Amino acid sequence: MIRVRFAPSPTGYLHIGAARTALFNWLYARKIGGTFLLRIEDTDLQRSTDESTRSIIEGLHWLGLDYDEELVFQSANADKHRAAALRLIEAGKAYRDFTPKAERADANVKQEIAERARAASHTGTDHRSNPFRDLSSQESESRAAAGEPFAVRLKVAREGLSSFVDAVYGAQERDYAEIEDLVLLRSDGHPLYNLSVVCDDIEMRITDVIRGQDHLTNTHKQILIYEALNASVPRFAHLPLILAPGGKKLSKRIHGEIVSLTTYRDAGFLPAAVCNFLALLGWSPAGVQFAATSTPGNEEVPVDPRVGELMSLREMIDNFSLERIHRNPAIFNFDANNPKRWTDDKLLWMNAHYIRTLPHEELLPLVRAELEASRLWREEYAGDRRDWFARAVDLIRERFYTLKDFSGQGRAYFGDEFEFDEAAVKKNLQKEPRLKELLPVLAARIDQTEPFTQETCEASLRACAEETGVKAGLFINAARTALTGQAVGPSMFEVFDLVGRDASARRLREAVRLI
């Protein structure tokens, strides 16, 4: 039985990279009928927040990634982790380190580490030079009993090689000389990350660890802990990281909201689109396109009924495999200075595609939620005007990118309170002063149109244009702005039909004041 887990630390919001890790774990579990677990790694009590935990759970729920079994909080297992460390001391596989704790300035830890390493290589000190490593157990115990504070470190063998086969990155090796006697337990008794993950993964009977590539080199340390604990080592699969444009690190601190999953939810993205996009960052389904011909002159033959990039969660599950995850980091492309490109182009396109192609039963509830949030929803859209509502959504969704557009650009379809786009007013209304007189004429015409359909509206408008000696286009464009506030939109006669006779005529008359 395959068991995988997603184990985020609850600091800040859910990062899109983390969301992708969750997705891959979930896809893998669902693909092979395994179990997908969620564990909150709140070992660092200073930085962990309940709010963050909530946003992680909400985020996964929003994406549709349901987890099996009980949610696990790592902090709840701290006692077990401590006990494991103590057991290792007794077994002689770990030792007490009485060296006083060195304070580190949080700001530039990385530099400090590098400098420390540089100094160590100059003086020739190696990773096994800790004076407490070979302290007799009697002395170690008596000092501990006397109340002297100590950290617990794993006793890494002096010679040897750690190795494992990563499902994505292949064979990995690391000389023990590169690995220090890592701290398992802090002197204040708190278990550290490497110990905690291993203990929890053992306890949760995790068989496959799928996580970000940033954990690749530390995996060797964790394997050492598994071995010391006499536990079987799980399979590992590391995922390439997601980087910012220019190949730089994509960080919460520098890039802000753009990396937060909630940003996309709040901006009107569909979970299906986000999942689809994320899945394609670092993975691609087999047979995504036509195979090259084997011999020149042969006809192009599709290998497979073409599997496109557009996939539902179901299709992603069916096509998923660890083998097709690749190793190079993906760049999440966006331009912070360009509002039209505030996030990745392809994600934007994909979201628009989903909006315009999703079946009604899936899209309509989402539009309803958006309208409710903007106070544009009316109960009759679910009752008497059900068909009208579906028709309206169908008509306008064609050119929308996010759900927000239904309450933004699409506002005029659901109520009389809407904004006029300045450029549209200028271009379609003010440019032709005669419209001041012409619009009421058209309005009168619309009032008398019976029955009120696309066809009759078109006939009325064209007749009106002919009689007044202007081009139909002038009326059409003016009407678009008068009725919707926009310069762009669906075919105008359908808009008349949808907005209805009374509102159409009224808006045409009211638009006169804008000229």
Partner RNA sequence: GGCGCUAUGGUGUAAUUGGUUAACACGCUGCCCUCUCAAGGCAGAGAGUACGGGUUCGAUCCCCGUUAGCGCUACCA
Per CB under 7 A, contacts with RNA among 25-84 are: 41-44, 47, 74
For RNA, which is the closer residue by CB, 103 or 379?
103
Q: How far is the CB of 286 from RNA (least distance, A)?
A: 7
Per CB under 7 A, contacts with RNA among 356-395 are: 356
Angle at 31 between CA 29 and CA 34, to 5 degrees: 35
Residue with tokens 């309170």: 417
**Backbone Cα Rg of the chain:** 32
Determine whether 275 is exposed, middle or buried from the number of CB atoms within 10 Å of its CB (0-12, 13-18, 19+): buried
Query: DSSP secondary-structure letter at 246?
Result: T
For RNA, which is the closer residue by CB, 250 or 377?
250
Which residue in 31, 80, 252, 427 is the catalytic one?
252
Per CB under 7 A, contacts with RNA among 463-482 are: 472-473, 476-477, 480
Judged by CB under 7 A, which stretch of 110-118, 227-235, 254-262, 371-379 contacts RNA? 110-118
Q: How far is the CB of 90 from RNA (least distance, A)?
A: 20
In 3-state terms, what secondary structure has residue 161? strand
For RNA, which is the closer residue by CB, 377 or 425?
425
For RNA, which is the closer residue by CB, 355 or 381?
355
For RNA, which is the closer residue by CB, 350 or 381?
350
Q: How far apart are CA 232 and CA 247, in angstroms?
A: 37
For RNA, which is the closer residue by CB, 280 or 313?
280
Does the annotation count 80 as an active-site position? Answer: no
**368 Cβ contact partners less than 8 Å away, ≥ 6 residues apart:** 377, 381, 382
The site string for RNA over 424-453 (x = CB under 7 A, - otherwise) reads: ------------------------------
190 binds RNA (CB under 7 A): yes
In 3-state terms, what secondary structure has residue 94? strand
Alpha carbon 138 to chain centroid, angstroms: 53
292 binds RNA (CB under 7 A): yes
249 binds RNA (CB under 7 A): yes
Per CB under 7 A, contacts with RNA among 114-173 are: 114, 116-118, 121, 150-151, 169-170, 172
Supply 146's token pair. 């006397």
- Backbone phi, then psi, for 322, in 5-degree steps? -60, -30
Residue with tokens 């993205």: 269
Q: How many residues bind RNA (CB under 7 A)?
A: 94
- Which of 309, 329, 328, 334 lies closest to 319, judged by CA? 309
- Which of 193, 180, 131, 136 lies closest to 154, judged by CA? 180
Query: Among 61, 90, 142, 349, which residue interacts with RNA (rule: CB under 7 A)?
Result: 349
291 binds RNA (CB under 7 A): yes
Q: How far is the CB of 191 from RNA (least distance, A)?
A: 8
Per CB under 7 A, contacts with RNA among 493-512 are: 493-494
Supply 317's token pair. 């599950």
Q: What residue type is assigned to position 358 of the chain?
A: L
Query: Among 135, 233, 358, 487, which residue interacts with RNA (rule: CB under 7 A)?
Result: 487
Q: How far is the CB of 371 from RNA (least distance, A)?
A: 21
Q: How far is the CB of 21 from RNA (least distance, A)?
A: 12
Query: Among 247, 339, 383, 451, which residue interacts with RNA (rule: CB under 7 A)?
Result: 247
Dihedral sign of CA atoms 441, 442, 443, 447 in order: positive
- Which of 308, 312, 398 lies closest to 353, judged by CA? 398
For RNA, which is the closer residue by CB, 218 or 378?
218
Q: How far is the CB of 227 from RNA (least distance, A)?
A: 18
Query: DSSP secondary-structure letter at 211?
Result: E
178 binds RNA (CB under 7 A): yes
Pairing of β 72-73 and β 35-40: parallel
Q: How far is the CB of 272 from RNA (least distance, A)?
A: 16
Supply 419's token pair. 């904004």
Q: How far is the CB of 384 from RNA (least distance, A)?
A: 27
- Could you tell me how many residues make up the chain? 515
Residues taking part in catalysis:
252
